Amino acid sequence: MHELGIVYEVVRIVDGFVQENQLTKVEKIVLEVGQLSQAIPRFLEECYPAAVSETAYEDTKLEIIVLPANGKCKSCNEVYNIIEHRRICPKCHRDEYALISGEEFNIKEIVAG
Amino acid sequence: MDELKVFTIKKNIQEDNAKVAEITRSQLRKQGTYLVNIMSSPGSGKTSTIVRTIKALKDEMKIGVMEADIDSDVDAKAVQEAGAKAIQLHTGGMCHLDATMTRQGIEELGVEELDLVFLENIGNLICPAGYDTGAMKNVAILSVPEGDDKPLKYPKIFGKVDVLIVNKIDAIEHFDFRMDLLEERVRRLNEDIIIFPISAKTGEGLDEWLNWIRKEVRKRG
Ligand SMILES: Nc1nc2c(ncn2[C@@H]2O[C@H](COP(=O)(O)OP(=O)(O)OP(=O)(O)O)[C@@H](O)[C@H]2O)c(=O)[nH]1
Ligand SMILES: [Mg+2]
Ligand SMILES: [Zn+2]
């Protein structure tokens, strides 16, 4: 599954950060995942235990913050969710927008000591 | 209990992949190794095309192959027998290769003396398209039995690759496959794509592909 590789990559990056900053315990990893990103949050959650099993992150929690697929209408500047509104501006009914969020896939932060 | 703090990372995962891929590319360029990433659905003819290519070019250049089969080494064995240096990547159920896995493969294979390296990606038209592996060029293979409508269903991969090989043209009379329709659909997504209709079975159309590879390898670095 696609998400498994992504989760491995997340753990690898977190591990790099942990080594660099000489941390000893990671309580939680917080991800920001856009609605249009390559990964599906539910699948990420399902893969996560497999990716961390028998590693130093076995007890580390995973939190996922979903960022909306928001576009800004090029005609009237309305900001709307392009998935919910099927790309069409709810105010002026045109479909030309500039995407302002939704493609993110970030490790936002970790809670660690 | 230890004191816990929040560390802001704000790291974009795709960005990280892109960075690793860029490093791979510049290192390979420096040492003169040309890496080609080959993507297709399972069974389109990645291994057959690679084997044919090795047999035709092995006296002109040194060739290596990284095989990413899910759970077997049959393809790695086939390309080894054809005369290339080959390894099996350990992909453990993954559906795509990313830049880090590709780098690990390159290290394991040892590419210093190689002129040309093929990466046989995992059989899948969706996920591999999202990941830069560090290859110089990306090639997709579509085989005739899959149908000429695939660019409509998988626009991302057809929009992204440099070359499209249309394989199994020896079987075209058995399928409702229109080459002109396919080309029109692909070009709508990717104006500059190079298309080679071939048969890895009979060798038809292979010369154009081989010449393209020769030219690319010559101008590498
Ligand atoms: N008729 C015909 N059959 C072909 C051709 N190329 C490959 N095949 C057959 O198609 C099947 C799959 O070919 P492979 O080269 O193993 O395909 P692949 O893309 O490497 O497959 P996976 O690695 O399993 O994803 C084999 O039975 C080949 O003999 C061709 O040009 N014509
Ligand atoms: Mg194969
Ligand atoms: Zn509007």
The number of folded domains in chain A is 1
CATH code, domain carrying A44: 3.30.2320.80
Contact B8 A108 (CB under 8 A): yes
User: B5-218 belongs to which CATH class?
Assistant: alpha beta
- Mean pLDDT is lowest, of A69-78, A95-104, B25-34, B129-138, for A95-104
Task: Give the residue extent of every domain in chain B.
Answer: 5-218
Q: Does residue B199 line the site of ligand 1, with CB under 6 A?
A: yes
Instruction: Tell me which amino acid residue B103 is.
Output: R
pLDDT score at A40: 82
Is there a contact between B100 and B67 (Cβ–Cβ < 8 Å)?
no
pLDDT score at B221: 53
- Residue A60 structural domain: 3-112
Quote the radius of gyration of chain A (alpha carbons, Å). 18
Task: Tell me B171's DSSP state.
Answer: G
Distance separating alpha carbons of residues A92 and A78, to the nearest angstrom: 9
Strand B137-143 and strand B34-40: pairing? Answer: parallel
Q: Ligand 1, residue B167: give the atom nearest the CA.
A: 31
Is there a contact between B54 and B84 (Cβ–Cβ < 8 Å)?
yes
pLDDT tens for residues A12-49? 999 999 999 999 999 999 999 998 887 788 889 988 99
